[in-house]
């Protein structure tokens, strides 16, 4: 259907990241989507607007027929002019294209200058999960948010990371537009563009993805936001530990599976947990481990294979000290440093 764009009726609508239509038009969208009416009435129907952005459409009783209310930032995200007709249709990503998000990077700024404000990254992330669960984010999109019913913020989507297509959960399927199905004239996610994988969902040439309760959030303060501080910024995202698609079965440590499992559990498992969660549990990372045993028992083999696990690795044998500057540089970022023959350090 084609609806005429108008402004939103209230600040509450403007901060909702949803668009609003007349109840009769909403019923048409629900039918076109094949969605459950009761679920759709509460959550809305995920729709493509002008084939350039994706928002939840909700009914508003006072809305004029054949109109769609969009806020300022939504008009900017979708390049929508006021008082013009735009196509609106139920949205569902194309099968095989990545859509659920594993992580989103958001740049945070205040809407109005004022006294200094401090955001707790963990608490703010919880707010985002409650407020925007199952919403679709687009790279470059700016989303307004009213935090604690008083602090107006603008969130700019800087980067998206996807879950594997095979790992798409029922959580995502249930959230995708309240059961929206692609109808005639509808829109679907397409192939990715430059800067993204070929199977990343996109609309209007920009990558999009669905924000779920399991999506981690990397918060960054915007340049020039001098009156805003983010406590624990970026702590919601677990650090990258393994290369994408890594297969432990391909390591080939024959007969040492138990030993390698113990090493991974003690030295690596804590590093795939978000730091803020680890802090609440009172746990600390294992910083080093000594492998000992007679020659030929597999110490070097395990060390070499561990080097294939981590994205960055340095191996130092004798002499160790001429390479200490290189190791010092590595120590400032996640890395595995393997020292073979510790006795070589005594020759310094």
For residues 118 and 212, state if they share a domain. yes
| CB atoms near residue 313 (< 10 Å) | 16
pLDDT score recorded for residue 235: 43
- Predicted pLDDT at 6: 95
CA distance 21 to 70: 10
What CATH number is attached to the domain comprising 126?
A: 3.10.330.10
Among 90, 122, 140, the domain-final residue is: 90
Question: Are 323 and 300 part of one and the same domain?
Answer: yes
Domain extent for 336: 248-347
Q: Is 238 part of any domain?
A: no
Residues 81, 198, single domain; the answer is no
In-domain check, residue 181:
no
Evaluate whether residue 18 is within a structural domain. yes
Same domain assignment for residues 200 and 82: no
Residues 82 and 108 in one domain: no
Any domain includes 211? yes
The answer to whether residues 65 and 145 belong to one domain is: no
- Only one residue has tokens 């913020």, namely 153
Q: Does 22 reside within a domain?
A: yes
The reported pLDDT for the residue numbered 20 is: 97
- The pLDDT assigned to 39 comes to 86
Domain end residue (candidates: 64, 90, 116): 90
What does each of the 348 residues of the chain score in pLDDT, given as a tens digit? 999 999 999 999 999 999 999 999 999 999 999 988 888 988 899 999 999 999 999 999 999 999 999 999 999 988 899 999 999 999 987 777 888 898 999 999 998 888 889 999 989 999 999 999 999 999 999 999 999 988 999 999 999 988 764 444 344 444 444 433 332 233 444 444 334 555 778 888 888 999 998 889 999 999 888 889 998 755 445 555 555 555 555 566 667 667 777 777 777 666 666 665 666 667 777 777 788 888 888 788 777 776 665 544 444 444 444 444 444 454 444 556 666 665 544 444
Answer yes or no: do 269 and 314 share one domain. Answer: yes
Is 328 found in the same domain as 266?
A: yes
Query: Please, are residues 204 and 53 in contact by the beta-carbon 8 Å criterion?
Result: yes
DSSP H helical ranges for 34-120: 37-43, 72-78
Q: Which of 57, 90, 123 is the last residue of a domain?
A: 90
Of 211, 34, 187, which is closest to residue 45 (Cα–Cα)?
Answer: 34
Quick check: is 236 in a domain? no
Contact at 8 Å (CB) between 180 and 31?
A: no
Q: Cβ distance 47 to 41 under 8 Å?
A: no
- Would you state the pLDDT for residue 183? 28
How many separate domains does the chain show?
3
Q: Same domain, yes or no, for 61 and 107?
A: no
Token digits for 313? Answer: 């690795």
| Angle ∠(22,26,32) on CA atoms, nearest 5 | 150
**Rounded Cα–Cα distance for residues 73 and 305 (Å):** 50
Do 39 and 115 reside in the same domain of the chain?
no
182 in a structural domain: no
Residue 284's pLDDT is 77
Q: Is 171 a member of any domain?
A: yes
- Same domain for 138 and 16, yes or no, is no
Q: Is the preceding omega at residue 319 within 30 degrees of 0, hence cis?
A: yes
Q: Phi-psi bin for 205: left (phi > 0), alpha (psi -120 to 50), beta?
A: left
Given this model, what pLDDT does residue 73 score? 92
Is residue 154 within 8 Å of 142, Cβ to Cβ?
yes
116 and 79 both lie in a single domain: no
């Amino acid at each position: 259907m084609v609806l005429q764009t108008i402004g939103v009726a209230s600040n509450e609508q403007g901060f909702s990241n949803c668009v609003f239509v007349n109840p009769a038009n909403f019923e048409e969208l629900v039918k076109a989507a094949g969605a459950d009416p009761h679920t759709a009435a509460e959550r809305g129907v995920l729709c493509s607007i002008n084939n350039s952005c994706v928002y939840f459409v909700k009914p508003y009783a006072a809305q004029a027929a054949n109109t769609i209310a969009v806020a300022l930032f939504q008009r900017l995200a979708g390049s929508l002019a006021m008082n013009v007709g735009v196509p609106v249709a139920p949205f569902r990503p194309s099968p095989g294209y990545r859509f659920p998000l594993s992580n989103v990077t958001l740049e945070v700024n205040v809407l109005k200058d004022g006294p200094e404000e401090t955001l707790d990254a963990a608490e703010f992330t919880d707010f985002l999960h409650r407020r925007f669960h199952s919403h679709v984010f687009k790279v470059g999109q700016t989303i307004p948010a009213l935090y604690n019913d008083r602090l107006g913020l603008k969130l700019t989507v800087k980067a998206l990371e996807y879950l594997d297509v095979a790992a798409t959960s029922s959580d995502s399927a249930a959230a995708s537009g309240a059961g929206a199905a692609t109808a005639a004239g509808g829109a679907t996610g397409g192939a990715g563009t430059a800067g993204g994988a070929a199977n990343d969902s996109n609309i209007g040439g920009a990558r999009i993805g669905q924000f779920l309760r399991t999506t981690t959030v990397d918060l960054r303060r915007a340049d020039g936001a001098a009156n805003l501080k983010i406590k624990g910024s970026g702590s919601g995202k677990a650090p990258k530990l393994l290369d994408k698609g890594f297969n432990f079965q391909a390591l080939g440590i024959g007969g040492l599976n138990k030993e390698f499992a113990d090493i991974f559990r003690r030295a690596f498992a804590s590093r795939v947990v978000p730091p803020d969660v680890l802090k609440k549990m009172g746990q600390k990372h294992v910083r080093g481990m000594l492998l000992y045993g007679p020659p030929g028992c597999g110490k070097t083999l395990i060390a070499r294979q561990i080097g294939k696990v981590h994205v960055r690795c340095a191996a130092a044998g004798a002499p160790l000290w001429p390479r200490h500057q290189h190791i010092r540089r590595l120590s400032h970022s996640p890395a595995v440093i393997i020292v073979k023959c510790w006795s070589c350090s005594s020759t310094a």
